[in-house]
Chains A and B, each alone.
Chain A
Protein backbone atom coordinates (compact mmCIF):
# COMPACT_ATOMS: atom_id res chain seq x y z
CA UNK A 1 0.00 0.00 0.00
CA UNK A 2 1.31 3.32 -0.97
CA UNK A 3 -0.77 5.75 1.12
CA UNK A 4 0.00 8.80 -0.95
CA UNK A 5 -0.25 12.10 0.88
CA UNK A 6 -3.80 13.34 1.01
CA UNK A 7 -3.22 16.88 -0.16
CA UNK A 8 -6.03 18.94 -1.63
CA UNK A 9 -4.32 22.22 -2.43
CA UNK A 10 -0.82 23.40 -3.11
CA UNK A 11 -0.10 27.10 -3.26
CA UNK A 12 3.07 28.74 -4.50
CA UNK A 13 3.01 32.36 -3.34
CA UNK A 14 5.64 34.72 -4.70
CA UNK A 15 5.88 37.06 -1.71
CA UNK A 16 5.71 36.81 2.05
CA UNK A 17 2.63 39.03 2.05
CA UNK A 18 0.90 36.73 -0.41
CA UNK A 19 1.80 33.76 1.73
CA UNK A 20 0.42 35.41 4.86
CA UNK A 21 -2.72 36.23 2.89
CA UNK A 22 -3.13 32.57 2.01
CA UNK A 23 -2.56 31.49 5.59
CA UNK A 24 -5.07 34.05 6.90
CA UNK A 25 -7.79 33.06 4.44
CA UNK A 26 -7.54 29.38 5.08
CA UNK A 27 -8.96 27.34 7.88
CA UNK A 28 -6.58 25.47 10.14
CA UNK A 29 -6.09 22.73 7.55
CA UNK A 30 -3.28 24.80 6.09
CA UNK A 31 0.40 24.30 6.73
CA UNK A 32 3.63 25.71 5.34
CA UNK A 33 6.00 23.54 3.39
CA UNK A 34 9.64 24.31 2.62
CA UNK A 35 11.79 21.23 1.99
CA UNK A 36 9.10 18.82 3.09
CA UNK A 37 11.46 16.39 4.81
CA UNK A 38 9.52 16.48 8.08
CA UNK A 39 6.11 16.76 6.48
CA UNK A 40 6.16 14.10 3.78
CA UNK A 41 7.64 10.92 5.25
CA UNK A 42 5.16 8.13 5.40
CA UNK A 43 4.72 7.80 9.12
CA UNK A 44 4.68 4.61 11.03
CA UNK A 45 0.92 4.83 11.38
CA UNK A 46 0.87 3.77 7.74
CA UNK A 47 -0.55 7.10 6.62
CA UNK A 48 1.57 10.00 5.55
CA UNK A 49 2.75 12.54 8.03
CA UNK A 50 0.59 15.17 6.37
CA UNK A 51 -2.37 15.80 8.60
CA UNK A 52 -3.28 19.12 7.08
CA UNK A 53 -4.26 19.03 3.46
CA UNK A 54 -3.59 22.51 2.14
CA UNK A 55 0.05 23.37 1.63
CA UNK A 56 1.62 26.77 1.16
CA UNK A 57 5.08 26.46 -0.36
CA UNK A 58 7.49 29.08 0.95
CA UNK A 59 10.46 28.02 -1.15
CA UNK A 60 9.82 30.80 -3.68
CA UNK A 61 9.80 33.70 -1.22
CA UNK A 62 13.48 34.54 -1.38
CA UNK A 63 14.09 33.29 2.14
CA UNK A 64 17.22 31.37 1.25
CA UNK A 65 20.13 33.57 2.29
CA UNK A 66 22.89 34.11 4.82
CA UNK A 67 23.92 37.71 5.37
CA UNK A 68 26.25 39.51 7.74
CA UNK A 69 25.66 42.89 9.34
CA UNK A 70 27.80 44.76 11.81
CA UNK A 71 26.10 43.26 14.83
CA UNK A 72 24.42 40.10 13.59
CA UNK A 73 24.18 37.24 11.13
CA UNK A 74 20.89 36.95 9.28
CA UNK A 75 19.70 33.60 7.99
CA UNK A 76 16.64 33.22 5.79
CA UNK A 77 14.25 30.64 7.24
CA UNK A 78 14.15 28.61 4.02
CA UNK A 79 17.94 28.21 3.90
CA UNK A 80 18.76 24.57 3.46
CA UNK A 81 20.97 22.97 6.05
CA UNK A 82 23.78 22.06 3.66
CA UNK A 83 24.08 25.72 2.71
CA UNK A 84 24.32 26.50 6.39
CA UNK A 85 26.91 23.79 6.97
CA UNK A 86 29.15 25.01 4.17
CA UNK A 87 28.79 28.71 4.84
CA UNK A 88 32.15 30.48 5.32
CA UNK A 89 30.39 32.93 7.60
CA UNK A 90 30.29 30.47 10.51
CA UNK A 91 33.87 29.30 10.33
CA UNK A 92 34.94 31.31 13.40
CA UNK A 93 34.32 30.70 17.07
CA UNK A 94 31.76 30.55 18.58
CA UNK A 95 29.60 30.18 15.45
CA UNK A 96 31.25 26.90 14.47
CA UNK A 97 28.73 25.23 16.78
CA UNK A 98 26.13 25.98 14.10
CA UNK A 99 28.17 24.03 11.57
CA UNK A 100 28.64 21.19 14.05
CA UNK A 101 24.91 20.93 14.56
CA UNK A 102 24.20 21.26 10.84
CA UNK A 103 26.55 18.38 10.06
CA UNK A 104 24.99 16.32 12.84
CA UNK A 105 21.54 16.88 11.35
CA UNK A 106 20.30 13.93 9.25
CA UNK A 107 22.40 13.22 6.14
CA UNK A 108 24.04 15.01 3.25
CA UNK A 109 21.11 13.99 1.03
CA UNK A 110 18.34 15.07 3.39
CA UNK A 111 20.11 18.33 4.19
CA UNK A 112 19.79 19.36 0.53
CA UNK A 113 16.06 19.79 1.18
CA UNK A 114 15.73 20.23 4.95
CA UNK A 115 15.69 23.88 6.04
CA UNK A 116 16.69 25.74 9.17
CA UNK A 117 13.23 27.23 9.55
CA UNK A 118 11.71 23.80 9.18
CA UNK A 119 13.93 22.32 11.85
CA UNK A 120 12.87 25.06 14.29
CA UNK A 121 9.16 25.20 13.40
CA UNK A 122 8.77 21.43 13.51
CA UNK A 123 9.80 21.90 17.16
CA UNK A 124 10.87 18.35 17.72
CA UNK A 125 12.28 17.76 21.22
CA UNK A 126 15.54 16.69 19.59
CA UNK A 127 15.86 19.43 16.93
CA UNK A 128 19.62 19.63 16.45
CA UNK A 129 19.83 23.18 15.09
CA UNK A 130 17.82 24.63 17.96
CA UNK A 131 20.65 23.95 20.40
CA UNK A 132 23.50 26.09 19.02
CA UNK A 133 20.98 28.81 18.23
CA UNK A 134 19.73 28.75 21.83
CA UNK A 135 23.23 29.17 23.23
CA UNK A 136 24.00 31.91 20.70
CA UNK A 137 20.92 33.88 21.81
CA UNK A 138 19.26 33.69 18.39
CA UNK A 139 16.29 35.92 17.67
CA UNK A 140 13.49 34.90 15.33
CA UNK A 141 11.72 37.24 12.95
CA UNK A 142 8.10 36.37 12.28
CA UNK A 143 5.72 38.04 9.90
CA UNK A 144 1.97 37.95 10.16
CA UNK A 145 -1.17 39.84 9.19
CA UNK A 146 -0.30 42.48 11.79
CA UNK A 147 3.24 43.02 10.65
CA UNK A 148 6.61 41.88 11.83
CA UNK A 149 7.67 40.86 15.31
CA UNK A 150 10.76 39.40 16.88
CA UNK A 151 11.12 36.87 19.67
CA UNK A 152 14.02 35.18 21.40
CA UNK A 153 14.36 31.56 20.36
CA UNK A 154 14.35 30.77 24.08
CA UNK A 155 10.68 31.80 24.17
CA UNK A 156 9.70 30.11 20.90
CA UNK A 157 9.07 26.49 21.88
CA UNK A 158 6.15 25.66 24.12
CA UNK A 159 5.83 21.89 23.80
CA UNK A 160 6.60 18.91 21.61
CA UNK A 161 5.97 20.05 18.03
CA UNK A 162 4.41 23.21 19.40
CA UNK A 163 5.59 26.84 19.13
CA UNK A 164 4.24 30.32 19.76
CA UNK A 165 3.83 30.83 16.02
CA UNK A 166 0.24 31.75 15.11
CA UNK A 167 -1.42 29.85 12.23
CA UNK A 168 -1.20 32.95 10.03
CA UNK A 169 2.42 33.75 10.86
CA UNK A 170 5.59 32.84 9.02
CA UNK A 171 9.06 32.51 10.46
CA UNK A 172 11.13 34.47 7.97
CA UNK A 173 14.54 35.05 9.48
CA UNK A 174 16.88 33.87 12.20
CA UNK A 175 19.25 36.48 13.62
CA UNK A 176 22.36 35.61 15.53
CA UNK A 177 23.90 38.50 17.42
CA UNK A 178 27.67 38.81 17.42
CA UNK A 179 29.14 37.48 20.61
CA UNK A 180 31.96 38.96 22.71
CA UNK A 181 35.38 38.30 21.26
CA UNK A 182 36.51 35.48 23.54
CA UNK A 183 33.60 33.14 23.15
CA UNK A 184 33.57 29.47 22.38
CA UNK A 185 30.66 27.17 21.65
CA UNK A 186 30.12 23.52 20.97
CA UNK A 187 27.39 21.15 19.88
CA UNK A 188 27.37 17.51 20.94
CA UNK A 189 25.02 14.65 20.16
CA UNK A 190 24.67 11.12 21.48
CA UNK A 191 22.93 8.63 19.20
CA UNK A 192 22.60 4.86 19.04
CA UNK A 193 24.24 4.93 15.62
CA UNK A 194 27.25 6.86 14.45
CA UNK A 195 25.28 8.12 11.48
CA UNK A 196 23.72 11.49 12.08
CA UNK A 197 20.41 10.38 10.57
CA UNK A 198 19.69 8.71 13.88
CA UNK A 199 17.74 10.92 16.22
CA UNK A 200 19.53 12.02 19.35
CA UNK A 201 19.30 10.19 22.64
CA UNK A 202 20.62 13.41 24.16
CA UNK A 203 21.91 16.47 22.34
CA UNK A 204 23.33 19.62 23.81
CA UNK A 205 25.15 22.85 23.10
CA UNK A 206 27.16 25.16 25.30
CA UNK A 207 28.69 28.59 24.88
CA UNK A 208 31.13 30.34 27.19
CA UNK A 209 32.31 33.94 26.97
CA UNK A 210 35.50 34.68 28.86
CA UNK A 211 36.99 37.98 29.96
CA UNK A 212 40.25 38.06 31.91
CA UNK A 213 39.87 34.39 32.73
CA UNK A 214 36.40 34.86 34.11
CA UNK A 215 33.22 33.52 32.62
CA UNK A 216 31.10 36.55 31.83
CA UNK A 217 28.34 34.59 30.16
CA UNK A 218 27.41 30.93 29.98
CA UNK A 219 24.77 29.25 27.90
CA UNK A 220 23.77 25.61 28.19
CA UNK A 221 21.03 24.10 26.04
CA UNK A 222 19.68 20.57 26.07
CA UNK A 223 17.62 18.55 23.63
CA UNK A 224 15.77 15.22 23.75
CA UNK A 225 15.43 15.44 27.52
CA UNK A 226 12.32 17.58 27.81
CA UNK A 227 9.22 18.49 25.83
CA UNK A 228 11.34 20.80 23.67
CA UNK A 229 14.92 22.05 23.45
CA UNK A 230 15.58 24.36 26.39
CA UNK A 231 18.23 26.29 28.26
CA UNK A 232 19.40 25.01 31.63
CA UNK A 233 19.38 28.38 33.30
CA UNK A 234 20.34 27.35 36.80
CA UNK A 235 23.45 25.72 35.45
CA UNK A 236 24.14 28.82 33.33
CA UNK A 237 23.81 31.09 36.37
CA UNK A 238 26.13 28.84 38.33
CA UNK A 239 28.87 29.21 35.72
CA UNK A 240 28.81 32.99 35.57
CA UNK A 241 31.67 34.88 37.22
CA UNK A 242 33.59 31.67 37.78
CA UNK A 243 37.28 31.62 37.01
CA UNK A 244 37.96 29.07 34.30
CA UNK A 245 41.32 27.62 33.39
CA UNK A 246 41.38 24.81 30.92
CA UNK A 247 42.57 21.37 31.94
CA UNK A 248 42.56 22.06 35.64
CA UNK A 249 40.92 20.05 38.34
CA UNK A 250 39.14 23.12 39.70
CA UNK A 251 37.53 23.95 36.39
CA UNK A 252 36.68 20.31 35.80
CA UNK A 253 34.92 20.29 39.16
CA UNK A 254 32.98 23.42 38.23
CA UNK A 255 31.90 21.85 34.96
CA UNK A 256 30.88 18.74 36.78
CA UNK A 257 28.73 20.70 39.17
CA UNK A 258 27.14 22.77 36.40
CA UNK A 259 26.45 19.63 34.39
CA UNK A 260 24.81 18.05 37.41
CA UNK A 261 22.63 21.12 37.89
CA UNK A 262 21.61 20.99 34.24
CA UNK A 263 20.64 17.34 34.56
CA UNK A 264 18.29 18.31 37.37
CA UNK A 265 16.56 20.78 35.06
CA UNK A 266 15.80 18.04 32.53
CA UNK A 267 12.68 15.91 32.43
CA UNK A 268 13.46 13.08 30.03
CA UNK A 269 11.05 10.28 29.22
CA UNK A 270 11.41 6.61 28.32
CA UNK A 271 11.06 5.91 24.63
CA UNK A 272 12.25 3.30 22.17
CA UNK A 273 15.64 4.97 21.81
CA UNK A 274 16.58 5.09 25.47
CA UNK A 275 15.21 5.15 28.99
CA UNK A 276 14.74 8.35 30.94
CA UNK A 277 17.30 7.14 33.48
CA UNK A 278 19.97 6.63 30.84
CA UNK A 279 19.27 10.03 29.31
CA UNK A 280 19.54 11.69 32.70
CA UNK A 281 22.83 9.93 33.32
CA UNK A 282 24.20 11.03 29.96
CA UNK A 283 23.48 14.75 30.40
CA UNK A 284 26.46 15.42 32.68
CA UNK A 285 28.70 13.23 30.54
CA UNK A 286 27.89 15.22 27.43
CA UNK A 287 27.87 18.62 29.08
CA UNK A 288 31.27 18.21 30.74
CA UNK A 289 32.76 17.39 27.37
CA UNK A 290 30.95 20.22 25.69
CA UNK A 291 31.88 22.82 28.30
CA UNK A 292 35.50 21.71 28.05
CA UNK A 293 35.45 22.21 24.29
CA UNK A 294 33.72 25.58 24.54
CA UNK A 295 36.27 26.81 27.07
CA UNK A 296 39.12 25.65 24.88
CA UNK A 297 37.64 27.40 21.86
CA UNK A 298 36.99 30.63 23.78
CA UNK A 299 40.69 30.84 24.55
CA UNK A 300 42.07 30.07 21.13
Chain B
Protein backbone atom coordinates (compact mmCIF):
# COMPACT_ATOMS: atom_id res chain seq x y z
CA UNK B 1 0.00 0.00 0.00
CA UNK B 2 1.17 3.48 -0.87
CA UNK B 3 0.25 6.63 1.05
CA UNK B 4 -1.28 9.28 -1.17
CA UNK B 5 -2.36 12.80 -0.38
CA UNK B 6 -4.87 14.35 -2.74
CA UNK B 7 -6.92 17.49 -2.65
CA UNK B 8 -10.40 16.56 -3.76
CA UNK B 9 -12.91 19.36 -4.25
CA UNK B 10 -10.83 21.69 -2.00
CA UNK B 11 -10.34 19.19 0.82
CA UNK B 12 -7.03 17.42 1.44
CA UNK B 13 -7.47 13.68 1.87
CA UNK B 14 -4.86 11.14 2.90
CA UNK B 15 -5.36 7.55 1.90
CA UNK B 16 -3.46 4.31 1.48
CA UNK B 17 -3.93 2.75 -1.94
CA UNK B 18 -2.86 -0.32 -3.87
CA UNK B 19 -0.47 0.67 -6.64
CA UNK B 20 -2.98 -0.46 -9.28
CA UNK B 21 -5.97 1.48 -7.96
CA UNK B 22 -7.39 3.73 -10.64
CA UNK B 23 -8.29 7.29 -9.81
CA UNK B 24 -11.88 6.77 -11.01
CA UNK B 25 -12.30 3.95 -8.48
CA UNK B 26 -10.86 6.03 -5.66
CA UNK B 27 -13.33 8.80 -6.40
CA UNK B 28 -16.36 6.57 -6.85
CA UNK B 29 -15.74 3.79 -4.34
CA UNK B 30 -13.84 5.51 -1.53
CA UNK B 31 -15.33 8.97 -1.65
CA UNK B 32 -18.71 8.05 -3.21
CA UNK B 33 -18.24 10.77 -5.81
CA UNK B 34 -20.31 8.87 -8.34
CA UNK B 35 -20.94 11.90 -10.54
CA UNK B 36 -17.76 10.80 -12.30
CA UNK B 37 -18.95 7.94 -14.52
CA UNK B 38 -17.29 4.97 -16.15
CA UNK B 39 -18.35 4.31 -19.72
CA UNK B 40 -15.50 2.35 -21.27
CA UNK B 41 -12.37 2.10 -19.16
CA UNK B 42 -10.13 2.87 -22.07
CA UNK B 43 -10.13 6.64 -22.30
CA UNK B 44 -12.45 6.81 -25.28
CA UNK B 45 -15.83 7.92 -23.95
CA UNK B 46 -14.97 10.77 -21.57
CA UNK B 47 -17.66 10.14 -18.97
CA UNK B 48 -14.91 9.97 -16.33
CA UNK B 49 -13.42 13.38 -17.21
CA UNK B 50 -12.32 15.37 -14.16
CA UNK B 51 -9.98 18.30 -13.63
CA UNK B 52 -6.52 17.42 -12.35
CA UNK B 53 -4.35 20.42 -11.50
CA UNK B 54 -6.69 22.50 -13.62
CA UNK B 55 -6.50 20.29 -16.72
CA UNK B 56 -9.15 17.96 -18.08
CA UNK B 57 -8.02 14.37 -17.67
CA UNK B 58 -9.60 10.95 -17.88
CA UNK B 59 -9.76 9.43 -14.43
CA UNK B 60 -9.98 5.89 -15.82
CA UNK B 61 -6.53 6.38 -17.33
CA UNK B 62 -4.82 7.54 -14.15
CA UNK B 63 -3.61 5.59 -11.19
CA UNK B 64 -4.39 7.22 -7.88
CA UNK B 65 -0.69 7.16 -7.01
CA UNK B 66 -0.09 9.39 -10.03
CA UNK B 67 -2.38 11.99 -8.50
CA UNK B 68 -0.31 12.31 -5.32
CA UNK B 69 -0.13 15.92 -4.11
CA UNK B 70 -2.45 17.00 -6.89
CA UNK B 71 -5.68 18.97 -6.95
CA UNK B 72 -8.79 17.26 -8.20
CA UNK B 73 -12.09 18.83 -9.06
CA UNK B 74 -15.12 16.67 -9.82
CA UNK B 75 -18.65 17.58 -10.86
CA UNK B 76 -19.66 17.51 -7.19
CA UNK B 77 -17.18 20.28 -6.42
CA UNK B 78 -18.57 22.70 -8.97
CA UNK B 79 -21.71 23.83 -7.22
CA UNK B 80 -21.56 26.70 -4.76
CA UNK B 81 -24.08 25.80 -2.08
CA UNK B 82 -27.47 25.68 -3.74
CA UNK B 83 -26.26 27.82 -6.62
CA UNK B 84 -25.40 26.00 -9.78
CA UNK B 85 -22.17 26.78 -11.61
CA UNK B 86 -22.80 28.75 -14.85
CA UNK B 87 -21.82 25.65 -16.83
CA UNK B 88 -24.42 23.59 -15.03
CA UNK B 89 -27.07 26.24 -15.61
CA UNK B 90 -26.15 26.57 -19.27
CA UNK B 91 -26.41 22.81 -19.84
CA UNK B 92 -29.95 23.03 -18.49
CA UNK B 93 -31.09 26.16 -20.29
CA UNK B 94 -29.56 25.10 -23.62
CA UNK B 95 -31.24 21.66 -23.45
CA UNK B 96 -27.82 20.04 -23.58
CA UNK B 97 -28.83 17.21 -21.26
CA UNK B 98 -30.74 14.09 -22.18
CA UNK B 99 -29.87 10.90 -20.30
CA UNK B 100 -27.23 12.78 -18.36
CA UNK B 101 -24.60 10.06 -18.28
CA UNK B 102 -22.12 12.04 -20.37
CA UNK B 103 -23.04 15.37 -18.79
CA UNK B 104 -20.62 15.53 -15.82
CA UNK B 105 -17.68 14.64 -18.08
CA UNK B 106 -18.66 17.24 -20.65
CA UNK B 107 -19.08 19.91 -18.01
CA UNK B 108 -15.68 19.13 -16.52
CA UNK B 109 -14.05 19.22 -19.97
CA UNK B 110 -15.69 22.60 -20.54
CA UNK B 111 -14.59 23.81 -17.12
CA UNK B 112 -10.92 23.17 -17.81
CA UNK B 113 -11.23 24.73 -21.25
CA UNK B 114 -12.76 27.98 -20.01
CA UNK B 115 -10.07 28.28 -17.35
CA UNK B 116 -7.37 28.31 -20.04
CA UNK B 117 -9.44 30.00 -22.73
CA UNK B 118 -12.00 32.38 -21.23
CA UNK B 119 -13.29 33.26 -24.71
CA UNK B 120 -13.35 30.00 -26.64
CA UNK B 121 -14.82 29.85 -30.12
CA UNK B 122 -17.02 27.18 -31.62
CA UNK B 123 -14.14 25.24 -33.12
CA UNK B 124 -12.15 25.16 -29.89
CA UNK B 125 -15.15 23.87 -27.93
CA UNK B 126 -15.68 21.20 -30.57
CA UNK B 127 -12.12 20.02 -30.09
CA UNK B 128 -12.48 20.26 -26.34
CA UNK B 129 -15.41 17.81 -26.48
CA UNK B 130 -13.77 15.41 -28.94
CA UNK B 131 -13.07 13.00 -26.10
CA UNK B 132 -16.62 13.10 -24.77
CA UNK B 133 -19.09 10.83 -26.50
CA UNK B 134 -22.80 11.54 -26.47
CA UNK B 135 -25.33 9.09 -27.85
CA UNK B 136 -28.55 10.95 -27.13
CA UNK B 137 -28.48 14.48 -28.38
CA UNK B 138 -25.43 15.04 -30.49
CA UNK B 139 -23.00 17.81 -29.75
CA UNK B 140 -24.55 21.06 -30.93
CA UNK B 141 -26.31 21.79 -27.65
CA UNK B 142 -23.39 20.96 -25.34
CA UNK B 143 -21.14 23.14 -27.52
CA UNK B 144 -23.64 26.00 -27.26
CA UNK B 145 -23.90 25.48 -23.52
CA UNK B 146 -20.15 25.77 -22.99
CA UNK B 147 -19.98 28.89 -25.18
CA UNK B 148 -22.83 30.44 -23.25
CA UNK B 149 -21.30 29.61 -19.89
CA UNK B 150 -17.99 31.11 -20.97
CA UNK B 151 -19.69 34.36 -21.89
CA UNK B 152 -21.54 34.46 -18.60
CA UNK B 153 -18.49 33.68 -16.55
CA UNK B 154 -16.60 36.45 -18.31
CA UNK B 155 -19.38 38.95 -17.63
CA UNK B 156 -19.53 37.86 -14.03
CA UNK B 157 -15.80 38.31 -13.54
CA UNK B 158 -16.15 41.89 -14.80
CA UNK B 159 -18.88 42.73 -12.27
Interface residues of A (CB under 8 A from B): 2-10, 12, 33, 36-37, 40-43, 50, 55, 57, 59, 106-110, 112-113, 195-197
- Alpha-carbon distance between A43 and B58 when the two chains are bound, in angstroms: 16
Q: Is B89 among interface residues, defined by CB-CB distance under 8 A? A: no
A107 in contact with B130 (CB, 8 Å):
yes
Return A73 CB to nearest CB of chain B, in Å.
Answer: 24
Please tell me which stretch of B43-51, B96-104, B142-150 contacts chain A, meaning at least 4 of its Cβ atoms lie within 8 angstroms of it.
B43-51
- Alpha-carbon distance between A40 and B40 when the two chains are bound, in angstroms: 12
Q: Is B34 among interface residues, defined by CB-CB distance under 8 A? A: no
| Shortest Cβ distance from B52 into A: residue | A112
Return B30 CB to nearest CB of chain A, in Å.
Answer: 13
- Alpha-carbon distance between A3 and B22 when the two chains are bound, in angstroms: 11
9 A-B contacts (beta carbon < 8 Å): A7-B18, A7-B63, A10-B63, A37-B58, A41-B60, A57-B66, A109-B58, A110-B58, A112-B55
- Alpha-carbon distance between A107 and B55 when the two chains are bound, in angstroms: 13
Interface of B is mostly: mixed
Q: Name the A residues within 8 Å of B56 (CB-CB).
A: 108-109, 112
Q: Name the A residues within 8 Å of B2 (CB-CB).
A: 10
Q: Name the B residues within 8 Å of A197 (CB-CB).
A: 44, 130-131
B41 in contact with A41 (CB, 8 Å):
yes
- Alpha-carbon distance between A37 and B22 when the two chains are bound, in angstroms: 12
Q: Name the B residues within 8 Å of A2 (CB-CB).
A: 25, 41
Contacting A at CB under 8 A, from B60-89, are 60-63, 65-66, 68
Interface residues of B (CB under 8 A from A): 2, 18-22, 25, 40-44, 46, 49, 52, 55-58, 60-63, 65-66, 68, 109, 113, 127-128, 130-132
Contact of B43 among A41, A55, A108 (CB under 8 A): A41
- Alpha-carbon distance between A113 and B49 when the two chains are bound, in angstroms: 12
Q: Name the B residues within 8 Å of A7 (CB-CB).
A: 18-20, 63
A36 in contact with B63 (CB, 8 Å):
yes
Given contacts A10-B19, A55-B19, A109-B58, contact A4 B127 (CB under 8 A): no
Return A37 CB to nearest CB of chain B, in Å.
Answer: 5
Residue with the highest number of chain A CB atoms closer than 10 Å, among B20, B57, B109: B20
The 4 A-B residue pairs with the shortest CB-CB distance in the complex, in nearest-first order: A7-B20, A41-B42, A10-B19, A42-B41
Q: Name the B residues within 8 Å of A196 (CB-CB).
A: 130
- Alpha-carbon distance between A40 and B61 when the two chains are bound, in angstroms: 6
Known contacts A40-B60, A55-B63, then 18 further A-B pairs from the complex at CB < 8 Å, ordered by chain A residue: A4-B20, A4-B22, A4-B25, A6-B20, A7-B20, A33-B66, A36-B63, A37-B61, A40-B61, A41-B41, A107-B130, A109-B109, A110-B43, A110-B61, A110-B131, A112-B56, A113-B57, A113-B58
A37 in contact with B55 (CB, 8 Å):
no
Return B47 CB to nearest CB of chain A, in Å.
Answer: 12
Q: Name the A residues within 8 Å of B65 (CB-CB).
A: 10, 12, 57
A59 in contact with B42 (CB, 8 Å):
no
- Alpha-carbon distance between A116 and B11 when the two chains are bound, in angstroms: 33
| Shortest Cβ distance from A41 into B: residue | B42
A112 in contact with B57 (CB, 8 Å):
yes
Given contacts A9-B19, A57-B66, A112-B56, contact A41 B25 (CB under 8 A): no
- Alpha-carbon distance between A9 and B131 when the two chains are bound, in angstroms: 30
Q: Name the A residues within 8 Å of B131 (CB-CB).
A: 106-110, 197
